[in-house]
Amino acid sequence: MDKIVIEGGKRLSGEVKISGAKNAALPILVSSLLADGWSTFTNVPDLRDIRTVCKILENHGATVLLDENDSSVIRINGSGLNNFEAPYDLVRQMRASILVLCPIVARLKKARISLPGGCAIGARPINLHLKGLEKLGAKIELKHGYVEASAEKLIGAEIYFDIPTVTGTENLMMAAVLAEGRTILGNAAMEPEIVALADVLNNMGADVRGAGTSEITINGVDSLQPVNSRIIPDRIETGTFITAAALTKGDITITDCEPSHISAVINKFELAGVKIKSEKNTIHVQGQDVITSVDVKTLPFPGFPTDMQAQFMVLMCAANGTSMITETIFENRFIHVSELKRLGAMIKVSGNTALITGGAQLSGAPVMATDLRASASLILAGLIAKDSTSVSRVYHLDRGYEALEKKFANLGASIKRVPE
Ligand code: EPU
């Protein structure tokens, strides 16, 4: 297993290119199961979660071709789809595997998918995915740790999500596109990844309207065609580089990104005193000597994303004053706090609120990554900590950040990956 070793104190500068978004790529690659024939996806990030979803699609009978010359191009042919079962060994590697549930029921009339279970950041139930699929006419049973779903025919219905769920909305969109009649998804998630999936489905011949608002209307069609699609930029990777520039008082130009997808994040950085200039697909960040404390509450899009909470907390550790971060999406998403404290951060957690006293001089230490975004926050902390920080268990990082340490090294960070 590798670890990332950082010598803190370098000011970052230069240009960094943002990769395709993991959380857009996952449902979009899965959507290839809905059509016979070759779909081509470009700007796919080279990540462990992407390799996992490819294995899952192959397990169901799809053919997956990776481009030998360009790892960001993946071709998938869904015409071989024949296996309705996703075993525990595959699903436990990535919770988002549950995204195959609805497409498989829509095409094979039944699915048997292992229940994903919880993860470090929370219990993460899938009850809303199941309730929605049931409303579309599927019979659902939970047996021996598996969801067993069957439906001779899916029929459009009105589904209201008690909580806006990102993968739940995506899953049900992929059932409704092939259901008979009209489906309305109320209180739907509004994330850019939902809009990206809707665009792909519409290019396949589906009729999905209202994606990006809280009500999505889907008129079912008989069949869909394969598609060519470019994955949208990763807004969380973008936010992570903004944090790095702000923390190291650096000067970074972030290219190939989509500023409108992170308006709430940019707003908080500006309140913290960071100078940000956004153009069409570029963000220029100039860190300032003084970072002002700002309170943050995580919310569904267009609010401040939970996936940026750990990174922003590191910025607040370096701010001049006290700030409060409230996590409202996941019940256990402060696991990075105890590791940040090992570096000298002054943070008190009470329930879903963290009180951060800024101004601590962080000093390097060995720390352990506990989930994807926590890993990024520890590396960010390492960039400003005195002396050496080593972050172990970086397989979490490799799930969702493409070559993060190489991108930081290109910006002037002293950072390397070493075998543990
Ligand atoms: N929820 C339920 N029941 C459900 C589904 C969700 O109670 O059936 C609750 C969850 O427990 C949570 C809230 O609803 O409290 C929102 O969860 P959501 O379903 O939106 O999360 P998700 O779809 O499982 C996606 C991202 C996460 C990101 C969240 C929130 C993907 C593959 N994953 O997860 O990304 O944090 O939305 O924005 O899109 C990450 O990339 O590090 C990551 C964890």
Separation of alpha carbons 241 and 278, rounded Å? 14
168 lines ligand 1 (CB under 6 A): yes
CATH of domain 2-18+233-419: 3.65.10.10
Over the stretch 276-310, which tens digit does the pLDDT of each residue have?
Answer: 999 999 999 999 999 999 999 999 999 999 999 99
Count Cα atoms within 13 angstroms, Cβ side, for 327. Answer: 26
Q: How many angstroms is it from 180 CA to the middle of ligand 1?
A: 28
Average pLDDT over residues 398-411: 97
Q: How many angstroms is it from 67 CA to the middle of ligand 1?
A: 30
Give the amino acid at 157.
Answer: A
Best probe residue, ligand 1, of 134, 165, 299 (max atoms within 8 Å of C-beta): 165
Average pLDDT over residues 2-21: 98
Separation of alpha carbons 94 and 22, rounded Å? 12
255: part of which helix (H) or strand (E)?
Answer: strand 251-255
Over the stretch 99-111, which tens digit does the pLDDT of each residue have?
Answer: 999 999 999 999 9
Query: Which residue has a Cα nearest atom 10 of ligand 1?
Result: 124
Which pair of structure tokens corresponds to residue 191? 């994330």
In this predicted structure, what is the pLDDT of residue 339?
97
In this predicted structure, what is the pLDDT of residue 329?
97
Neighbours of 292 (CB within 10 A): 16
22-230: what fold?
UDP-n-acetylglucosamine1-carboxyvinyl-transferase; Chain (3.65.10)
Does the pLDDT value for residue 118 go beyond 80? no
Q: Which of 118-132, 190-204, 235-249, 361-375 has the lowest mean pLDDT?
A: 118-132
Percent helix, percent strand, percent coil in the chain, to nearest 5: 35, 30, 35
Residue 51 binned pLDDT confidence (cut-offs 50, 70, 90): very high
Residue 420 binned pLDDT confidence (cut-offs 50, 70, 90): confident
Which pair of structure tokens corresponds to residue 262? 């992170």
Cβ neighbors of 177 (< 8 A, separation 6 or more) are 34, 106, 201, 204, 206, 207, 208, 218, 220, 221, 224
Does the pLDDT value for residue 117 go beyond 90? no
In this predicted structure, what is the pLDDT of residue 6?
98
Best probe residue, ligand 1, of 197, 329, 332, 333 (max atoms within 8 Å of C-beta): 329
Cα distance from N-terminal residue to C-terminal residue, the chain: 6
Residue 119 annotated to the active site:
yes
Give the amino acid at 340.
Answer: L
Enter the pTM of the model. Answer: 0.98
Q: How many angstroms is it from 166 CA to the middle of ligand 1?
A: 6
122 lines ligand 1 (CB under 6 A): yes
Cβ neighbors of 365 (< 8 A, separation 6 or more) are 342, 343, 385, 389
Which pair of structure tokens corresponds to residue 53? 């979803």
116 lines ligand 1 (CB under 6 A): no
307 lines ligand 1 (CB under 6 A): yes
Does the pLDDT value for residue 121 go beyond 90? no
Over the stretch 347-396, which tens digit does the pLDDT of each residue have?
Answer: 999 999 999 999 999 999 999 999 999 999 999 999 999 999 999 999 99
Residue 209 binned pLDDT confidence (cut-offs 50, 70, 90): very high
In this predicted structure, what is the pLDDT of residue 119?
80
Q: How many angstroms is it from 184 CA to the middle of ligand 1?
A: 20
Separation of alpha carbons 232 and 31, rounded Å? 15
Query: Which residue has a Cα nearest atom 28 of ligand 1?
Result: 307
Which pair of structure tokens corresponds to residue 32? 């290839």
* In the chain, domain spans: 2-18+233-419, 22-230
Mapped onto helix, strand or coil, the DSSP state of residue 229 is strand
147: part of which helix (H) or strand (E)?
Answer: strand 146-150
Q: Which of 24-38, 119-133, 161-175, 309-323 has the lowest mean pLDDT?
A: 119-133
Does the pLDDT value for residue 122 go beyond 90? no
Average pLDDT over residues 16-41: 98
Residue 162 binned pLDDT confidence (cut-offs 50, 70, 90): very high
Separation of alpha carbons 167 and 158, rounded Å? 18
